[in-house]
Each structure stands twice: as structure tokens, then as C-alpha cells.
Amino acid sequence: MTIEPSVSSSPQPVLAAEPPARVSPMMEQYHEIKAANPGLLLFYRMGDFYELFFDDAEVASRALGITLTKRGKHLGQDIPMCGVPVERADDYLHRLIALGHRVAVCEQTEDPAAARARKSVVRRDVVRLITPGTLTEDTLLDARANNYLLAIARAKAAGGDRIGLAWIDISTSEFIVTECSGPELAATLARINPNEAIVTDALYSDPDYGPLLRELAAVTPLTRDVFDSATAERRLCDYFAVATMDGLAAMSRLEATAAAACITYVERTQLGKKPPLSPPSRELSGATMAIDPATRANLELTRTLAGERRGSLLDAIDCTVTAAGSRLLAQRLAAPLTDAEAIAHRLDAVAAFVAEPMLRDSLRSTLRAAPDMSRALARLSVGRGGPRDLAALRDGVLAADDALAQLGTLAELPQEIRAAAAALRRPSRDLAQEFSKALAEELPLQKRDGGFVRSNYLPALDEARELRDASRQVVAAMQARYAEDTGIKTLKIRHNNVLGYFVEVTAQHGDRLMTAPLNATFIHRQTLAGQVRFTTAELGEIEAKIANAGERALGLELEVFEQLAAMVIAAGDDLRAAAQAFALLDVTLALAKLAADDNYVRPEVDSSLAFAIEGGRHPVVEQALKRDGQPFIANACDLSPAPGQQSGQIWLLTGPNMAGKSTFLRQNALIALLAQIGSFVPASRARIGIVDRLFSRVGAADDLARGRSTFMVEMVETAVILNQASDRALVILDEIGRGTATFDGLSIAWAAIEHLHEANRCRALFATHYHELTALSSKLPRLFNATVRVKEWHGEVVFLHEVMPGSADRSYGIQVAKLAGLPPSVISRAKAVLAKLEANDRGQSVRALADDLPLFALTARAPAEPALPSEAEQLIEAVRGLHPDEMSPREALEALYALQAKLPKR
């Protein structure tokens, strides 16, 4: 991708008819580079700015809200341009990448002076392609989230399409492959949640998959050769430097195709550099709980419906203290396990620390000091690392010893922790020792800033530094001498990158130095508004010495850096293993802390179809209520098959709005999910037979973004459940059918329950406001009615949030509307309509109803709210008459007794 400064043919032919529309050499170069990087925004370096031209400029100025200007003409047309300062480029890159753009960064690769000497345009070269899925820089990455690049390959087969998936996080070296069927793709994509996906052009425009793909954050369609299955094995073997695929994990051909596409794209974006990747590990299909995108959104697993992390399940349970731990927890939450034994191993590990609060706290503070080793390692491996990355690895290895010593105090290590401890022992301690000797206390971000190697580490470096610093002393002495000689007290010797060292005096003294005799010593360089700048022969000499010594010192430092980086790369596998062990420890400790703080219990997870929760709570709502000092009312739920039965039960939950139906439904789904990621659960007891698919739907959810009517969405999503749920699924349906007319909705809900009961035979919770549905329980043996209790008090509803067997007698909609502050005239009118409806029974036609009821306008004059009972009136009057500020405590107490005496006797 080297771009020669002289270009043979301009990408756009110059029309003969055009007046003197000469293409400038710079524009020629620009077009050449632009053509070599299709689909990317070109950041074209010019001095202290990256400039964007033409369409790129328009896209970027809109996306970044920066001014669009013009720069010269191309073929007679103005050239649109916008630019970002180099030192703030990261900010702008971040925003463009977040919007799904890809950027080619083009630098000047020679000194502009050299180009001037050649009478040519400065050489430039693309040094980096930045795409959302191939980032390594800390400034561009979210520390708490993985950054996945996903390749998707399809094979058409007789029994339906097969899809191969491979995903990589080059900032942490993870590399995973799997295969799924066409209909499973949506759930799989939602689980992986890639930052960028690459696909073939054909798949991108496929009528079935295209729409799904276009919903992803960033999708890059690529030519077929990247997805060529014939060359896939060879490309993989080359990357991992192995002779045959036997050296890598067993993979299907389709998985290998996707994996090869991934690495090919990575090599392209890293311009041939090979970031280290773990050999692909294969995820067996069915090893994780399938959760489709709608369910994830609905249960607010990692983001709330409003798109915030705060308020999501992940946010509520994330007590990790490291970025790597946070990423691992997010991974686990995205992919709950379906293997009871693997879950038990995780639970064993959590349990070990639940019982050890002291050890937990001290290990957590050790981890807090262990930096993000895997990302530091990845940066060093692609040559983008800095001194702080070296220090991160040193600190990580030192923390490993610390952690091991603490783990040693546990009587017995559960299997997962034992494996983590073994990994922590792997990295050579010599590395940490060498780094401790070599690295200074304070480290610059960039290696080119120098100053990161300790003195006394390398004698030659110390020498060069002394020379440099001594010369600086000489400069300081020189300033004093010049000030003395000229009598100008304010004379200064300064330094900048353009002039180097120079003598500076204020404008009023400038003339003195420019006239004899002083002009023999002082040579004028520059006149500014307030200052005049000079140089001297002596200063020039000393400057050269300083520069030489400085350059030599920096050169030596960079050599040390390369040696240390090489040690890191050689120890890469061990360091990576240790980093993973830290992440695992962090997650385990965090879940233990959560369990201890929020009073969670260890769930029993087995291969039955049981679902028995006692004292269940909603993990997020509970925390929110706790912050307000409110209790959460725990509720039991039992969907286990009755003795002698083969299938789980369905609960039909009725109750007024705001009673807590949705909360109850979701808490049970979340408990199952937490149990299967290997976490303790918010309940007093829980036994769960593995759930293989989780579905959650809410009636009439808005999905305007996708341009579908809300009811259509509701039905499409319900269809997925009814078509896909097996007897191992857990289904949550919240007010399905709400989005259409009463009778339609009721009929659909009715039929859906029958289908779940008869065909899917899965465990399910169904909340509804159609009380008519409760009649179904007499017909369907595994359907049970439950309701959320409320109390009525002086015409107001009081929500008890208790789930009981039985059904709600009415919906209290009007009472809730009143709580919400609907105007009294509307409330009393609604009551009148309701009374009429109830008297007539709901079966009557709407027309008859309309005939029967006077028009709304007539009732505007209807009596307002009935007067309050007289006791209440009296009470209100009495309270109004109190003046708390003027009362003594004793008077206040007496007033309270007096008020109580006015209450009606019970």
C-alpha cells in the first residue's frame, strides 16, 4: 500500500473541454491514496491537521459537527474540505468509529523540507486502517466491553441454510468460532453483539439476512475471495504458523471459512501486522442459552429500553473491580450455560468466596491494582504499545504473586480457582524483575517522549543524559551572561520546535541587539508582535550538542523498550493466561460480593424441568427500591411439572396495572438467567431445570425505528415463540394482545395460551388484563391462575405486590387513572361508562353501547367527584389548622393524638 509521489494516471480524466483545470500534484496523490482505500474516510495529514476532502469532508463535517470549508478547485469545482487537529484526532476518530465509519489514516512519511528540496509533494502513506472491529487503542476502546469483529459465512444446504461465525477481539486475542442455522442467526448475533461484522456482498443483499445485518452497528461487505473456503485452511495455517489444521481446534469447513475471513480482514486493517490471537476455540451449538434480541432488550440485560447501561441487569450485578473482569461478566451474561456441571463449577467458585468476606476484600484490592494486561499485551504485539503498557504487565505479574499468596490461605480451592491459580503461576517472574529494574516511576504515554528508563539501568544512557543535562546547564548560564552583557534583564533563552533554541527579548529591546556592537553576536531570526528573537553562534553549537545527546539518549531508551517488548511478546501466552485468570477471579469475587451484600442464595441447577423459586426478588427493582428505603416484596413461583407429569406449568397472572405483574414475570426470567451464568440468585431458595431458550415479550412495545406497527411487532415476536419454544424453554408473555381491539386481542391471547399448553409444553408465565382468560384454567390442566393482591381503601387502591393463587376480581384501571391525576370530570365519566358496561355485560355491541350512553359533551356538566366523607373533611380541616413551626414537641404530640381521635372507629 505504498504510494509513490508521482502518479501516472489521474483517477478522474481531465476533460479536454475544461478550461485550465489542472489537477494539482497533491490532489493527484490524494486521489491515488483514496482509490486504494475504498469505503474508508481518508484522514490526510497536512501539517498539524488531518484534512478530509470531497464526500469524506461532507460526511465527517455532518457527523462531527465541524465546519465545512473549501480548498482550491479540482476540475473547475470547489473542493469541500474539513479538518481535525492532530492532537485531538482521537476524539474525532472515536466519534466516527462509534457511528460505524471506517477511517484510513494517512501520514506524511518524510520531512517536508526533503520534499521541497525535490520540488515535489510530501510523501504520504496510509499507516493504519481504523475500523470499529479492529481497534487496540485504549482511547478508542470501551474498557468494560469486548470489541468484537465478526465474520459470517453461509452455506446453502438441503435442510436449510447453515451459518458459520467467527469472532475476534484483537484487543484481547480472543478468537471463537461456531455454527448455527439460519433462524438461529438473530439470537446468535444478539449474543455476540459485534462492533463490526464482515460478510459477503451476496449475504449483505440477501432478502432474508440483509435486514438483520443492517441492524448491526457496522457491517462491511467484502468480496468473495475473503470468504473463499478453498483457501481458508491455508490462510489459517499461515497465520498461526502451523503446518496443518490438526494443530488448531477441530472446525467445520464453514467455521474455518469465517475464521479465515476474520484473519484476512485483520491483516488488511493492520497493514500486514499479525496481532497475536489465541487459536480459535469452538463453541458447541446448544452450549449456551438462546436468547433472541427482543428478549435481551426486553429484560434489559445490558442496556435499558432507553439505551442506558445504568438500570440494566449488568449494571446491577457488576461489582467487578477491573475492566477485564467487567468484560468477562458481560460475556457470561450474554451467554448463560446449559450444562449443569459447568454451572456447578462456577457456583462452587463463587460459594468459596461468599464464605470468606476478609479474603474476598483483600483479593479484590489486589486485583484493583492489576491493570488490563491483555489489552496492553495486544498493543505491544502490534507495535502500538507504550511504556505504560510495559508497566501494566510488570504490575500484573507482581499482583499474581500477591493473589497466589492470598489464595493459599483457602483450605481447598474449587476447580475453577485451582485452574486460575495455575495460570497465575505461569508468567516468568524474571520479566517482572527486569521491568522493575528498567522502568522509571513516572512513565510517559508515548515511548518517543523518552524518560521512561530508570537511571543506573544502562550506563551509556546515563552518560548521554548527563551530557544533555549538563548542556542545559550551560544554556542557563549563557542566559545569565547574555542578560548581564546586554543589560537587558528580561532576556530569555527559549526553545521551540521550529527555531530550536533562541534568544528572546521584548520588542522595546530588539533594536539594541540589531545595532552595533551587539549585532555582531546576535543574529536576528524573527520579529513577533511583542518579541524579537535572535540566535548566536555559541547557542547554535550548544544546541547541536544537546540535540545529539538527547537523540542518543532517546535512541538508547527506544532500544531498551524494544528489548522489553520482545520479552513480553515471547511470554505472550503465559501473560494472556494470567490475564484471563485475573478476569475470572474478579468475576467470581464480584458475584460472591453481590451474593453476600444483596442476600442471594446458591441455586440448584439440574437437568430436570423444575422451576421452583421461593422468596424471589427482582435484582434491579430491589436495588432501586433499597436506595429509596423501600422494601421489595418477595414472591414464590413454581412452574415445575406436577408429580407424574412430563411438562412444566403455565401461570396466568392477572391484577391491576401497577400491581407488579411485569416485575414478577421478569424477576423469574432473570433468576433463571443468573443461575445459568453461575451466579447466586435473589431468592431464598431456587431449583431450576436447565432452560435452553428464554423468551420474553411485552405487548404493544414500540418499534417505530423499524417502521413496523407495534401490533405487528408483537405478533411477529409471538409467532417466533410459538414456532420455536420447546419443552425446555422458559416463556414470559406480558400482556400479549394489548395492541389491538379487545376481542381480537383476547382471542389471540386465548389461542396462544392453548398453543403453549398443548404444542410447546414449556414453562411459561403469562400476564394479562383479560380476566376472561382465567376461565381457561378449568380446561387446561397445567394452567394455573395467579393474581397480584391489592387492597381498596376509601376508593383508592393500595398495591401489596403479593402474588397469590386465584384471579383478580377487577382491573382498578379507573383508580390507577385517578392516582395518575386524570381530571376528576374524566374519572367520574369513566366510572359512569364502566357501570353501564358492567350492567350490560361486555358482550354487547359497541353500537348498542353508543346508543345507550349520552354523548361525552353532555356530561361535562356532570357532577364532579362525590364529596369526601365528612370524617375525611374534618381531618383535612384539622390538619390545615396546625402550625408545626410554632409548636413545641409536646404540643405536636398532643395534636397527633387529637387527630387520631377524629378517625372513624374500626
In the complex, the residues that contact ligand ADP under the rule CB under 6 A are 621, 625, 632-633, 655, 657-663, 801
Min. distance of Cβ 633 from ligand ADP in angstroms? 4
Helix axes of 572-598 and 415-425: crossing angle, nearest 10 degrees: 140
Minimum CB distance to Mg ion smaller for 185 or for 658: 658
Q: How many helices (H) does the chain have, and how many strands (E)? A: 31, 27
- DSSP strand pairing (174-181 vs 281-282): parallel
Q: Considering CB distances under 5 to 8 angstroms, the limit depending on partner class, which of Mg ion, ligand ADP, none binds residue 773?
A: none
Min. distance of Cβ 798 from Mg ion in angstroms? 18
- Which amino acid, 426? R
Q: Are 151 and 259 in contact (CB under 8 A)?
A: yes
Min. distance of Cβ 768 from ligand ADP in angstroms? 11
Min. distance of Cβ 634 from ligand ADP in angstroms? 7
Q: Are 75 and 12 in contact (CB under 8 A)?
A: yes
**Nine-digit cell at 638?**
413454581
Backbone angles phi, psi at 16, to 5 degrees: -60, -35
Question: Residue with CB nearest ligand ADP?
Answer: 660
789-817 burial: b if 16+ Cβ within 10 Å, else e = bbeeeeeebebebbbeeebbeebbebbbe
With H, G, I as helix, E, B as strand and everything else as coil, classify residue 15: coil
Minimum CB distance to Mg ion smaller for 33 or for 749: 749
E strands present in 156-299: 162-169, 174-181, 196-200, 219-222, 281-282, 290-291
Minimum CB distance to ligand ADP smaller for 41 or for 659: 659
Using left for φ > 0, alpha for ψ between -120 and 50, and beta otherwise, residue 797 falls in beta
- In 3D space, the residue among 698, 659, 904 whose CA is nearest the CA of residue 801 turns out to be 659
Which residues within the stretch 361-380 sit at the binding site for Mg ion (CB under 5 A)?
none
- DSSP strand pairing (604-606 vs 685-689): parallel
Min. distance of Cβ 734 from Mg ion in angstroms? 6
For the four alpha carbons of 192, 196, 197 and 198, in that order, the dihedral sign comes to negative
Q: Considering CB distances under 5 to 8 angstroms, the limit depending on partner class, which of Mg ion, ligand ADP, none binds residue 576?
A: none
CA distance 699 to 298: 11
Q: Are 718 and 737 in contact (CB under 8 A)?
A: no
Minimum CB distance to ligand ADP smaller for 88 or for 626: 626
Block residue for cell numbers 387492597: 791
Min. distance of Cβ 801 from ligand ADP in angstroms? 3
Minimum CB distance to Mg ion smaller for 366 or for 807: 807
Minimum CB distance to Mg ion smaller for 579 or for 767: 767
Min. distance of Cβ 739 from Mg ion in angstroms? 14
CA distance 468 to 553: 8
CA 891 to chain centre: 58
With H, G, I as helix, E, B as strand and everything else as coil, classify residue 322: coil
Minimum CB distance to ligand ADP smaller for 627 or for 883: 627
Minimum CB distance to ligand ADP smaller for 513 or for 658: 658
∠ CA 134-135-139, nearest 5°, is 170
CA distance 211 to 215: 7
Q: Considering CB distances under 5 to 8 angstroms, the limit depending on partner class, which of Mg ion, ligand ADP, none binds residue 659?
A: ligand ADP
Minimum CB distance to ligand ADP smaller for 147 or for 663: 663
Q: Considering CB distances under 5 to 8 angstroms, the limit depending on partner class, which of Mg ion, ligand ADP, none binds residue 605?
A: none
Contact segment (CB under 5 A) with Mg ion among 7-15, 187-195, 604-612, 661-669 equals 661-669
Min. distance of Cβ 622 from ligand ADP in angstroms? 8
Q: Are 154 and 203 in contact (CB under 8 A)?
A: yes
With H, G, I as helix, E, B as strand and everything else as coil, classify residue 144: coil
Tell me how many residues contact Mg ion (CB under 5 A): 1
Minimum CB distance to Mg ion smaller for 635 or for 662: 662
CA distance 249 to 19: 63
Contact segment (CB under 5 A) with Mg ion among 660-668, 714-722, 725-733, 892-900 equals 660-668
CA distance 777 to 652: 8
CA distance 742 to 733: 17
When binding is defined by CB under 5 A, the residue of 662, 696, 718, 787 that contacts Mg ion is: 662
- In 3D space, the residue among 221, 216, 268, 273 whose CA is nearest the CA of residue 104 turns out to be 268
Q: Considering CB distances under 5 to 8 angstroms, the limit depending on partner class, which of Mg ion, ligand ADP, none binds residue 101?
A: none
Peptide bond into 517 cis (omega under 30): yes
Q: Considering CB distances under 5 to 8 angstroms, the limit depending on partner class, which of ligand ADP, Mg ion, none binds residue 663?
A: ligand ADP
Minimum CB distance to Mg ion smaller for 640 or for 662: 662
Minimum CB distance to ligand ADP smaller for 655 or for 745: 655
Q: Considering CB distances under 5 to 8 angstroms, the limit depending on partner class, which of Mg ion, ligand ADP, none binds residue 29?
A: none
Min. distance of Cβ 193 from ligand ADP in angstroms? 27
CA distance 316 to 350: 17
Q: Considering CB distances under 5 to 8 angstroms, the limit depending on partner class, which of ligand ADP, Mg ion, none binds residue 633?
A: ligand ADP
Min. distance of Cβ 815 from ligand ADP in angstroms? 13
Minimum CB distance to ligand ADP smaller for 337 or for 659: 659
Contact segment (CB under 5 A) with Mg ion among 262-270, 633-641, 654-662, 850-858 equals 654-662
Min. distance of Cβ 336 from Mg ion in angstroms? 24
Contact segment (CB under 5 A) with Mg ion among 34-42, 409-417, 657-665, 821-829 equals 657-665
Q: Considering CB distances under 5 to 8 angstroms, the limit depending on partner class, which of Mg ion, ligand ADP, none binds residue 658?
A: ligand ADP
The verdict on 768 binding Mg ion (CB under 5 A) reads no
Minimum CB distance to Mg ion smaller for 213 or for 765: 765
Q: Considering CB distances under 5 to 8 angstroms, the limit depending on partner class, which of Mg ion, ligand ADP, none binds residue 632?
A: ligand ADP
Minimum CB distance to Mg ion smaller for 115 or for 625: 625
Min. distance of Cβ 819 from ligand ADP in angstroms? 12
Q: Considering CB distances under 5 to 8 angstroms, the limit depending on partner class, which of Mg ion, ligand ADP, none binds residue 371?
A: none
| H-helix segments, 65-158 | 89-98, 112-118
Min. distance of Cβ 632 from ligand ADP in angstroms? 4
Question: Residue with CB nearest Mg ion?
Answer: 662
Min. distance of Cβ 667 from ligand ADP in angstroms? 8
**Nine-digit cell at 565?**
517488548
Min. distance of Cβ 724 from ligand ADP in angstroms? 25
Block residue for cell numbers 521550529: 498
First to last CA, the chain: 89
Min. distance of Cβ 319 from Mg ion in angstroms? 29
Contact segment (CB under 5 A) with Mg ion among 111-119, 566-574, 662-670, 819-827 equals 662-670
Block residue for cell numbers 489465541: 278
Minimum CB distance to ligand ADP smaller for 315 or for 462: 315
Minimum CB distance to Mg ion smaller for 254 or for 788: 788
Min. distance of Cβ 94 from Mg ion in angstroms? 38
Q: Cα–Cα distances in Å, from 77 out to 26, 58, 581, 809?
A: 16, 15, 59, 75
Q: Considering CB distances under 5 to 8 angstroms, the limit depending on partner class, which of ligand ADP, Mg ion, none binds residue 801?
A: ligand ADP
- Which amino acid, 831? K
- In 3D space, the residue among 250, 239, 309 whose CA is nearest the CA of residue 275 turns out to be 239
Q: Considering CB distances under 5 to 8 angstroms, the limit depending on partner class, which of ligand ADP, Mg ion, none binds residue 621?
A: ligand ADP
Q: Cα–Cα distances in Å, from 227 out to 186, 249, 264?
A: 21, 19, 9
Q: Which residues bind Mg ion (CB under 5 A)?
A: 662
